[in-house]
Amino acid sequence: MNEFRARGVEIAAISIDSNQESRTLCASQGYTFPFLSDPKAEVIRRYGVLHPHAGEDGGDIARPAEFLVDAAGTIRWENLTKNIRVRARPEAVLKALDDLLPPRASLEIKLASRALDF
C-alpha cells in the first residue's frame, strides 16, 4: 500500500457493495484507499468486467480485474484473471509499475542533478 503511495499511485476499489458495506470493510481491514460503490454495475459494465447474475441475490457483480491508468487516462496495464482464486499480486503490479513509470525518486534525482548543473 505505502509502496503504491510512494510511487504516486492511488488505488481505487470498485464493487457493487453499498457505501455501508464498504465502510465496514475499510474499518475492519484498515484500508485507506477509496472504495467506490457501483450498485447498478454501470461502471463495471462499461469496463467490460460484468459477471451477470453471479451475486448472492442473483444480481450482476464484477468479475475480478485490475487496470493501471496513467495521468493521461490511458490504460497502461491490465490483469483479467481466468480464475477468481488467482489475483494480481502486489509485487507483480509494482513491477509492472516500475517498468512503465520510472520511480519518482530517480526522477527527482535527475531534476536535482540538472539543477546543480545549472
Partner 1 sequence: MKRSWNGLIWAGFAVILLAAFSFLWLIRFPATRDFPWVNLLLFAAGALLLAAGLRRAFRQPERYRGKVSGTILGLLSVAIFGLFYYGTFVLAADIPSASGAPRTGTQAPDFTLPDAAGRPVALSDLLKKDRAVLLIFYRGYW
- Rounded CA-CA distance 80/109 in Å is 35
Count of all residues that appear for the chain in the document: 118
Number of residues that bind partner 1 (CB under 8 A): 67
Amino acid at 115: A
Q: How many whole angstroms separate alpha carbon 5 and alpha carbon 83? A: 28
Q: Which of residues 65-94 bind partner 1 (CB under 8 A)?
A: 65-78, 80-87, 89, 93
Out of 54, 105, 109, 112, point to the residue binding partner 1 (CB under 8 A).
Answer: 54
Can you tell me which residue has the cell 488467482?
86
Is residue 117 a contact point for partner 1 (CB under 8 A)? Answer: no
Footprint of partner 1 (CB under 8 A):
4, 7-17, 19, 21-23, 25-26, 34-38, 42-44, 46-52, 54-56, 61-78, 80-87, 89, 93, 97, 101, 104
